[in-house]
């Protein structure tokens, strides 16, 4: 990586011009750095005449989190680029186009999606995305099925898994999601008002057992090429379109992990809702929409996944009666458990979500955190015995009623 | 691999001389090819004066099975050599010393174990190996624990797993153990006298479901660096010593697979016993010794593994109360299921075992096959609910009594 240097605006333009057949030779290109600078530089390069634009994304050799900075492998840019290419091949309408890349500079050049909104922001703004469940359910079903032993050559899959060994970024997940929140370590970050709930978390060994089992799955179950960080901040949306970005955490892991990320982040937005509306009727409607979306995401995933299995399954023994049902049940249970981990870490761990953190009212923000912890713990404890997504919806409703959060 | 050529006896001597500090420069070395020529050339090179000797093992670029020949990656020699080095580091007394190797020529130079006997032959000859359970239980516990997320750095483990991606040899296992025996394909090889039992096997979808679940574990659960082919033909023994050889099938897989191989091969010898003794008392004693050995192998594994976990576990969350017990239970259940697959494939599939095939009496050989299939099927069906090794011993005894095989 000795040839690596961080791009300037001018470098980024030069690089953008090197993409064949995109900009005309005489185009007068503008360039703007639009990233948050924590992990990557993100340049938007535009030709104001043709209105064509693209993104040059460059990985930085470190991560900045809450003022701290630690080194991070540049190889993640290769992983992200290769994952994007695979995911785009499998779901062309749901993943940005990759125009090119450079290994030494840790660069990926890709489609500009500035006409889309980051879904987390869109949800906080109160928008709805009626096509999202079909889009994300299909994205997850297709990308997981076709990279798994069910849908691809099982020898090529092993070699592909080796190319997606991703120790640095998996380490972040292993620490921040599956370890830190459950013990008193400096990496945690929680507000003083939930100290009692957090201490309960540290002492709840029944919960730790579930976390240990889920951590084991994350460490050892190489089922499919996961996105690996599929929260609502990794998804661009409009009313009509969904685009999944940022798969730098991609690796071969358990299928339930990507689904769990979606469920957790919709539930985090759900718990934040009282902070965003004082109209009881609108609040109720909004929460119902979020719960229905969770159910629809699962149902869309399941329907697409079963159809792919039945029509394109390559493994004769996978057609054995009863096996598909057991497999789907496993994915659901894993998804529920992972969703629980992902909710808890966003309240107790290093990295929080704007859905809750930007609630202005202290009491409503506090209540959102407590509710998120309650739901997260319940998902962890019921995960291994879940038999349908409806149970999870009902469980969530019960907790909200018990917590006395106004509906 | 363009520099590859199969060694002649003279080449092998030249290569042996290149090992530093082993033979004296003026030694008059003898060389003999002692392999079976199906997968590898095995040269024994000896200095008759000093009586020092070593083995030069070279992988062939093909596998010969029942007259057929198919291409096979030479990279398996690297995998075998690197696995031997890791296993020897973890269990110096139980694995031959590697003196050197050559990547292009697919060569490994290692300790000569001619004073040992292949365990399968030793068992057929009626020998007992009182130290075997402690040896193999410790081998499995140490090699699995220290290559797993429980006992080694979890980021280095991922990189190590990538080095042991072993598509060619895993494919052999996937086909011959987890697929072919359960359907009517030309690769199978069984005697006409068991055609009814084999047809039952092909139609038993309840059994296929168990095979599908075990196949999934083999394909996706990268728990530890397995030996991958730990039958009694991969183990050299004397009354005092045990040496595990031939880890060319090594890869990151489910821990129960190696244990299942040992259990299956001791049970195959168990089912063959009536073919080897017409003295009822000796037969009973022999069978009891084999069952006790199985129990002791498991107990030794469990004791060693728990001690390593308690004393050297690196993962804080793995110390959660109850987790170790659940983990051990999973390994046991997997081992029982894999043992079932491995017994069935040795009766129905391509590759058989001498324990049964060399029984002279047709009826006793037939009975041994039927018993092996009965036990194998029972292990598959009870595997997922097993709670102790004693249940497996009892199950085996019941089947033998039901089958009416004389005890």
If you write DSSP's letter for every residue of B205-238 in order, what string do you get? HHHHHHHHHHHHHHHHB--EEE-S--SGGGEEE-
Question: Three-class SS of residue B99?
Answer: strand
Say yes or no: B241 and B308 in one domain: yes
Distance from CA of A196 to the nearest CA of B (A): 21
How confident is the model over B118-124, as a mean pLDDT? 97
**CATH number for the domain including A22?**
3.30.200.20
Sheet containing strand A98-102, strands side by side: A30-33, A40-47, A52-59, A107-111, A98-102
pLDDT tens string A347-376: 999 999 999 999 999 999 999 999 999 999
A246 in a labelled binding site: yes
From A149, A316, A322, residue closest to B183, measured CB to CB: A316
Say yes or no: B280 and B231 in one domain: yes
Say yes or no: B265 and B376 in one domain: yes
- Which tokens is B206 given? 């309840």
- Which tokens is B149 given? 């997320």
Say yes or no: A234 and A362 in one domain: yes
Question: Three-class SS of residue A371?
Answer: helix
- Which tokens is A211 given? 């976390």
Say yes or no: A368 and A220 in one domain: yes
Q: Distances in Å between the alpha carbon of A115 and those of A17, A81, A236, A348, B123?
A: 22, 21, 9, 34, 73
B111, B136, B159 - which closes a domain = B111
pLDDT confidence band for B36 (50 / 70 / 90): confident
Say yes or no: A128 and A190 in one domain: yes
Query: Which of A167, A170, A172, A187 should one mutate to test binding to chain B, selecting the residue with the greatest count of B CBs within 10 A?
Result: A167
From A159, A219, A318, residue closest to B154, measured CB to CB: A219
B210 in a labelled binding site: no
Task: Check A220 against B216: CB less than 8 A apart.
Answer: no
| Chain B residue whose CA is closest to A210 | B323
* CA–CA distance, B106 with B57 (Å, rounded to integer): 8
ipTM of the complex: 0.95
Residue among A250, A167, A181 at smallest CA distance from A210: A181
Say yes or no: A71 and A205 in one domain: no
Domain count, chain A: 2
* CA–CA distance, B308 with B320 (Å, rounded to integer): 15
Task: Check B205 against A320: CB less than 8 A apart.
Answer: yes
Say yes or no: A289 and A160 in one domain: yes
Residue B221: list chain A partners with CB under 8 A.
220-222
Instruction: Please enumerate in sequence order all residues whose Cβ is within 8 A of that of A36, keeping only pairs 6 or more positions apart, or say none.
Output: none
Count other C-beta atoms under 10 Å from residue B3's C-beta.
Answer: 8
B247 in a labelled binding site: yes
- Burial letters A282-321, b for 16+ CB under 10 A, else e: ebeebbebbbebbbbbbebbbebbbebbeeebebebbebe
Task: Check A159 against B165: CB less than 8 A apart.
Answer: yes
Q: Which residue has the tokens 């499919």?
A: A224
Task: Check B166 against A158: CB less than 8 A apart.
Answer: yes
Does any domain span residue B375?
yes
* CA–CA distance, B5 with B59 (Å, rounded to integer): 10
Instruction: Please enumerate in sequence order all residues whose Cβ is within 8 A of that of A269, keeping only pairs 6 or more positions apart, or say none.
Output: A120, A123, A124, A232, A290, A355
Task: Check A317 against B179: CB less than 8 A apart.
Answer: yes
Does any domain span residue B157?
yes
- Which tokens is A29 given? 């290109």
Residue A162: list chain B partners with CB under 8 A.
161-162, 165
* CA–CA distance, B262 with B243 (Å, rounded to integer): 14
Question: Three-class SS of residue B388?
Answer: coil
Question: Three-class SS of residue A79?
Answer: helix
Task: Check A317 against B162: CB less than 8 A apart.
Answer: no
The answer to whether residues B376 and B245 touch, using CB atoms and an 8 Å cutoff, is: no
Say yes or no: A65 and A125 in one domain: no
Q: How many residues does chain B have?
A: 407
Say yes or no: B243 and B145 in one domain: yes
B216 in a labelled binding site: no
Does any domain span residue A150?
yes
From A162, A208, A211, residue closest to B162, measured CB to CB: A162
- Strand-pair partners of A55: A44, A110
Say yes or no: B71 and B50 in one domain: yes
Residue B274 CA, chain-centre distance (Å), reads: 24
Residue A326: list chain B partners with CB under 8 A.
209, 213
Task: Check A171 against B154: CB less than 8 A apart.
Answer: yes
Counted across chains A and B, CB pairs separated by less than 8 A come out at: 106
Query: Which of B150, B162, B168, B224 should one mutate to test binding to chain A, selecting the residue with the greatest count of A CBs within 10 A?
Result: B162
* CA–CA distance, B403 with B271 (Å, rounded to integer): 11
The answer to whether residues B62 and B209 touch, using CB atoms and an 8 Å cutoff, is: no
Does any domain span residue B54?
yes
Say yes or no: A47 and A196 in one domain: no
B79, B111, B143 - which closes a domain = B111
**CATH number for the domain including B185?**
3.90.1200.10
* Residue span of the structural domain in which A22 resides: 9-111
* CA–CA distance, A78 with A57 (Å, rounded to integer): 11
Task: Check B158 against A165: CB less than 8 A apart.
Answer: yes
* CA–CA distance, A253 with B144 (Å, rounded to integer): 20
Q: What is the pLDDT at residue A37? A: 72
Does any domain span residue A2?
no
Does any domain span residue A3?
no
Residue among A207, A35, A27 at smallest CA distance from A107: A35
Does any domain span residue B304?
yes
- Which tokens is A303 given? 């329907």
| Model confidence at B51: pLDDT above 90 | yes
Does any domain span residue B121?
yes
Chain A residues in contact with chain B using a Cβ-Cβ cutoff of 8 Å: 149, 154-156, 158-159, 161-162, 165-168, 170-171, 174, 178-179, 182-183, 205, 208-209, 211-213, 215-216, 219-223, 315-318, 320-323, 326-327
How confident is the prediction along chain A (407 residues), in pLDDT tens digits per residue? 478 999 999 999 999 999 999 999 999 999 999 987 788 999 999 999 999 999 999 999 988 766 667 888 999 999 999 999 999 999 999 999 999 999 999 999 999 999 999 999 999 999 999 999 999 999 999 999 999 999 999 999 999 999 999 999 999 999 999 999 999 999 999 999 999 999 999 999 999 999 999 999 999 999 999 999 999 999 999 999 999 999 999 999 999 999 999 999 999 999 999 988 889 999 999 999 999 999 999 999 999 999 999 999 999 999 999 999 999 999 999 999 999 999 999 999 999 999 999 999 999 999 999 999 999 999 999 999 999 999 999 999 999 987 655 43
Residue among A168, A191, A188, A167 at smallest CA distance from A177: A188
Looking at residue B221, the DSSP 8-state letter turns out to be: B
B57, B89, B111 - which closes a domain = B111
């Amino acid at each position: 990586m000795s040839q690596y240097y961080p791009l300037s605006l001018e470098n980024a333009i030069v690089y953008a011009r090197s993409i064949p057949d995109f900009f005309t030779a005489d185009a007068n290109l503008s360039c703007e750095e639009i990233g948050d600078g924590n992990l990557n530089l993100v340049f938007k390069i535009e030709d104001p005449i043709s209105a064509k634009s693209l993104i040059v994304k460059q990985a930085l050799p470190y991560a900045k989190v809450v003022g701290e900075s630690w080194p991070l492998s540049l190889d993640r840019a290769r992983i992200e680029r290769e994952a994007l290419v695979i995911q785009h091949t499998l779901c062309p309408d749901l993943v940005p186009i990759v125009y090119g890349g450079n290994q030494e500079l840790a660069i990926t050049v890709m489609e500009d999606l500035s006409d889309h909104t980051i879904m987390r922001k869109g949800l906080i703004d109160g928008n709805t995305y009626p096509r999202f469940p079909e889009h994300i359910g299909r994205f997850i079903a297709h990308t997981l099925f076709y990279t798994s032993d069910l849908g691809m050559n099982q020898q090529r899959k092993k070699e592909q898994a080796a190319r997606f060994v991703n120790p640095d970024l998996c380490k972040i997940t292993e620490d921040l999601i599956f370890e830190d929140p459950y013990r008193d370590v400096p990496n945690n970050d929680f507000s003083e008002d939930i100290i009692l709930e957090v201490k309960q978390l540290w002492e709840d060994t029944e919960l730790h057992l579930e976390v240990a089992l889920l951590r084991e799955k994350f460490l050892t179950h190489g089922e499919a090429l996961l996105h690996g960080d599929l929260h609502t901040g990794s998804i661009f949306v409009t009313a009509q379109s969904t685009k999944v970005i940022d798969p730098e955490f991609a690796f071969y892991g358990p299928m339930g992990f990507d689904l769990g990320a979606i469920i957790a982040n919709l539930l985090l937005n759900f718990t934040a809702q009282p902070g965003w509306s004082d109209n009881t009727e609108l609040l109720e409607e909004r929460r119902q929409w979020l719960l229905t979306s969770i159910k629809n995401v699962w149902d869309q995933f399941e329907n697409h996944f079963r159809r792919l299995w039945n029509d394109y399954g390559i493994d004769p023994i996978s057609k054995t009666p009863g096996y598909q049902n057991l497999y789907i049940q496993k994915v659901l249970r894993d998804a529920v458990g992972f969703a629980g981990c992902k909710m808890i870490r966003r309240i107790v761990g290093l990295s929080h979500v704007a859905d809750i953190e930007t609630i202005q009212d202290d009491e409503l923000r506090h209540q959102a955190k407590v509710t998120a912890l309650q739901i997260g713990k319940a998902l962890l404890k019921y995960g291994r015995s879940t038999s349908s997504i409806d149970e999870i919806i009902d469980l969530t409703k019960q907790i909200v009623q018990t917590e006395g959060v106004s509906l």
